[in-house]
Amino acid sequence: MISSQQALKLILKNTEDFGIEEIPFLESVGRVLKEDILADRDFPPFDRVSMDGIAIVFDTFTAGNRTFKIENVQAAGSKQLELNNKSNCIEVMTGAVLPINTDVVIPYEQVTIANGKAIIEIDKINQLQNIHKQGNDRKKTDILIKKNRVISPSEIGIFATIGKSTVKVAKQPKALIISTGDELVAVNENPLPYQIRRSNVYSMLSLLEELKIHAETAHITDDKPLLKEKIARYLEQYDVLLFSGAVSKGKYDFLPEVLDELGVKKLFHKVKQRPGKPFWFGKKGSKSVFAFPGNPVSTYVGCLKYFYPWYKKLVGIQYENQESAILSEDFFFKPELTYFLQVKTKNEKGRLYAIPVVGHGSGDLANLADADAFLELPDDKSNFAKGEVFPLIRYR
Amino acid sequence: MISSQQALKLILKNTEDFGIEEIPFLESVGRVLKEDILADRDFPPFDRVSMDGIAIVFDTFTAGNRTFKIENVQAAGSKQLELNNKSNCIEVMTGAVLPINTDVVIPYEQVTIANGKAIIEIDKINQLQNIHKQGNDRKKTDILIKKNRVISPSEIGIFATIGKSTVKVAKQPKALIISTGDELVAVNENPLPYQIRRSNVYSMLSLLEELKIHAETAHITDDKPLLKEKIARYLEQYDVLLFSGAVSKGKYDFLPEVLDELGVKKLFHKVKQRPGKPFWFGKKGSKSVFAFPGNPVSTYVGCLKYFYPWYKKLVGIQYENQESAILSEDFFFKPELTYFLQVKTKNEKGRLYAIPVVGHGSGDLANLADADAFLELPDDKSNFAKGEVFPLIRYR
């Protein structure tokens, strides 16, 4: 049995590159950018008026002039005007180009307008005030967004600004999520007393959806030849298979055997952790197989703790900041296993606390609804004191 | 001018109830649950074997017996078997029903199996060990998930388990995002020197998409009769309009006027904040209008600071935990305005730090790509010291 850290290390050593694709920018939120985004022109692209008011010549003002005849109006989206007479002014709107020959903007709040004239009511102004100079924010060809960034709504605005109607993003792995177990029936069926409904594939499907991976699902009964035949096909069709169940010591836990017979190389089977100990991971060429135990919480935490980092590494997301939280009360866990404690998080004055949601133990699915993260308690100790800090794996 | 707190308070007083709809459970992640979710039966629904091994009678073991003839195999998903002879055992698989007449499970690891017999290699066992008793986690009709919860992948697993193939969720408001401004051209157009591309509607569209609101977009030029005609129609067709631009003091900022003429009651115009001061908010009957200034960062922060809480309140999400962060360095901001400082967050040992991303000021859109949140600095002071804690508005 290997430790959880070793397991993760092995998984991260075994990522694949699925390449790049170009997609419409509006569909790119949550995807990983695979090109540097450069300014297509200066920002602002012209000397931009940043207050509604009048544009004048600074020297005319310093010479004592306070009354300016209004020569014209410079609207946003209109061609640049020119101030013909240096004693006059042009009304200017936010977002407009600064008219030629002007070098200062006085906001309407400091001006009285009457009879085609603007009277300035203040005595101190600064040259270039309320003018957002061309290229002040960014110069043409400056990098606005570096690649390998997860795209958020803020990047969408930048793509639009520079006219990137399509963007290059990391291609997603083709993923299949497979349940096994003869006790499982469909969600819309009424289970017999000894049956339960399929649920793990759906929580995993949703977890992958959070990463914008649109996975598919399948179910295979506990029948060895059938498992072998189907998995052989799936290994050809998909980049990654995620199993739930059939990896323990049971008589019908054929999965490790079948995967071995199909030439999937086992990298490890069983990890010193609770829940989720019988986790199996292997590779066949570029294909990856995550086989999680069938307990709902095992599958769930396994997907977050191992599949998520695997995916994030392969699409190129850097891991700069592993979240951690402060344990809110003493906790005891004896076995020499990494324990994934279900917790509720609470931000109090900039401190992130993890409050244990003990419920009915690590296998209680309904607990997941009361918690919002797992606190990862290391395997080398049993007493975890209030105030100690541990890695946090958040799922909401 | 009102304060940012007053503005938010007014907005939260003016929410609407858009009712409830029932949708397929797999499409419900991110939506707000509007029914309590009850257990349809006990969990586990039967005395469930939780280790692969053999099931025996505890009394037979305490009487000294260590060798048990294997009578049968109880697989997961099979009808409950009965142990006929109390001196025998039944092989049992994880997830199976515990056979009648047995009351303890010994895992394979502690058993040797040969010639149809199982020999137990340990001397201490506990009655009911490795049996997950019926109803131990939850009883039939227990509440598994309370309503008003934002649905995450963990809830999806629970819905599946109890056979909820459709769930009741809060209906989303019908939202339209409208840009104004003659300087704007489409994303796929080449702007003239004095034009820029439409971008705010797309970042807002993506921000609403994060809330699972599938908004639509429109553009209206700075033409008063046209604005009036179009907005009149939009007020009939949509529950909420979000504008970007045309709310300042400019000659073509017709929006407040037009809204007034259309009977939209202004609740406020202008908020003591930077960026985003000329923010306008109003109501006409059940219809709500958020009109943000056209500066990209103003629109962005306005949507996060005002529209998000408005939406969250109307769908019933409780605000138990406003996130806050620790300012990482001294910061100075003189005007008596709430300042939305762009920051990068960093979790260090359970403490959440906010690192200012000053860039080229509050109007620099590209800054948003370098930051991941706004730190909300109050309007009643100018010196913000390293180590002080302020509310955080995160967008990634």
Mind listing the domains of chain B with CATH numbers? 2-18+172-315 (3.40.980.10), 21-42+145-170 (3.90.105.10), 48-132 (2.170.190.11), 324-394 (2.40.340.10)
B46–A78 CB contact, under 8 Å: no
Is B202 in Cβ contact with A157 (below 8 Å)? yes
- Nearest chain B Cα distance for residue A285, angstroms: 31
Mean of pLDDT values over B243-248? 90
- Answer whether residue B232 shows pLDDT above 90: yes
Beta bridge mates, B384: B331
DSSP per residue over B282-337, as a string?
Answer: EEETTEEEEEE-SSHHHHHHHIIIIIHHHHHHHHT-------EEEE-S-EE--SSS
Closest alpha carbon to A83 in A55, A50, A116, A120: A55
CA dihedral A186, A192, A194, A196 (to 10 degrees): 20
pLDDT digits (tens, 9 = 90+) for A142-153: 999 999 999 999
Inter-chain residue contact B153 with A352, CB threshold 8 Å: no
Which pLDDT belongs to residue A365? 75
Q: Span B106-130, mean pLDDT?
A: 96
Which residues in A lie closer than 8 A to residue B321 (C-beta atoms)? 346-347
Lookup: tokens for B259: 């809204």
* Residues B181-224 pLDDT 10s: 899 999 999 999 999 999 999 999 999 999 999 999 999 999 99
Our CA-based measurement puts residue A61 at a distance from the nearest CA of chain B, in whole angstroms, of: 22
Q: What is the pLDDT of residue A143?
A: 95
pLDDT at B362: 63
**What was the pLDDT predicted at A310?**
97
Rounded to a whole number of angstroms, the distance from the CA of B75 to the nearest CA of chain A is 8
Q: Do A360 and B138 touch (CB under 8 A)?
A: yes
pLDDT at residue B319, rounded to an integer: 65
Question: What's chain B's average pLDDT?
Answer: 95
pLDDT at site A198: 96
Per-residue pLDDT 10s for chain A (396 aa) are 999 999 999 999 999 999 999 999 999 999 999 999 999 999 999 999 999 999 999 999 999 999 999 999 999 999 999 999 999 999 999 999 999 999 999 999 999 999 999 999 999 999 999 999 999 989 999 999 999 999 999 999 999 999 999 999 999 999 999 999 899 999 999 999 999 999 999 999 999 999 999 999 999 999 999 999 999 999 999 999 999 988 888 888 999 999 999 999 999 999 999 999 999 999 999 999 999 999 999 999 999 999 999 999 999 997 656 899 999 999 999 999 999 999 999 999 999 999 999 877 666 777 899 999 999 999 999 999 999 999 999 999
Burial class (CB in 10 A: 0-12, 13-18, 19+), A174: middle
**pLDDT of B321 strictly over 90:** no
Q: What is the dihedral of CA A182, A183, A185, A191, to 10 degrees?
A: 140
**A237 Cβ contact list (under 8 Å, min separation 6):** A174, A176
**Cα angle vertex A239, ends A238, A242, to 5°?**
80
| pLDDT given at position A361 | 67
Q: Which residues, in sequence order, are CB contacts of A129 under 8 Å at separation 6+?
A: A104, A105, A106
* Distance separating alpha carbons of residues B8 and B301, to the nearest angstrom: 13
What per-residue confidence (pLDDT) applies to B252? Answer: 87
Dihedral (CA of A240, A245, A249, A251) sign: negative
In chain A, what residues touch B132 (CB-CB under 8 Å)? 363
Residue B361 has pLDDT above 70, yes or no: no
Q: Model confidence over B172-181: pLDDT tens digits?
A: 999 999 999 8
CA distance A149 to chain B (A): 9
pLDDT for res B279: 97
- Say yes or no for a CB contact (<8 Å) between B157 and A368: yes
Taking an 8 Å cut-off on Cβ atoms, the answer to whether B202 and A252 are in contact is: no
- Residue A1: the pLDDT is 93
Would the CA dihedral through A68, A70, A71, A75 be positive or negative? positive
Using alpha carbons, list the distances in angstroms from residue B361 to A44, A306, B325.
Answer: 13, 40, 21
Chain B residues closer than 8 Å to A46 by CB: 193-194
Classify burial at A121, counting beta carbons within 10 Å of its beta carbon; exposed 0-12, middle 13-18, buried 19 or more.
exposed
Q: Residue A100 in contact with residue A80, Cβ under 8 Å?
A: yes
Q: Say how far apart CA B60 and CA B88 lie, in whole Å.
A: 9
pLDDT tens, residue by residue, B36-95: 999 999 999 999 999 999 999 999 999 999 999 999 999 999 999 999 999 999 999 999
Q: What is the pLDDT of residue B246?
A: 86
CB contact under 8 A, A108 and B249: yes
Inform me whether the pLDDT recorded for B289 exceeds 90: yes
Q: Which of A196, A307, A343 to mutate to test the interface with B (most CBs of B within 10 A)?
A: A196
Counted across chains A and B, CB pairs separated by less than 8 A come out at 331
Cα separation, A166 vs A164, whole angstroms: 5
CA distance A169 to A19: 9
Question: What pLDDT sits at residue B250?
Answer: 87
Give the angle subtended at the CA of B23 by the CAs of B20 and B29, to the nearest 5°.
100
Q: Name every chain A residue with its beta carbon within 8 A of the beta carbon of B95.
A: 181, 183, 196, 294
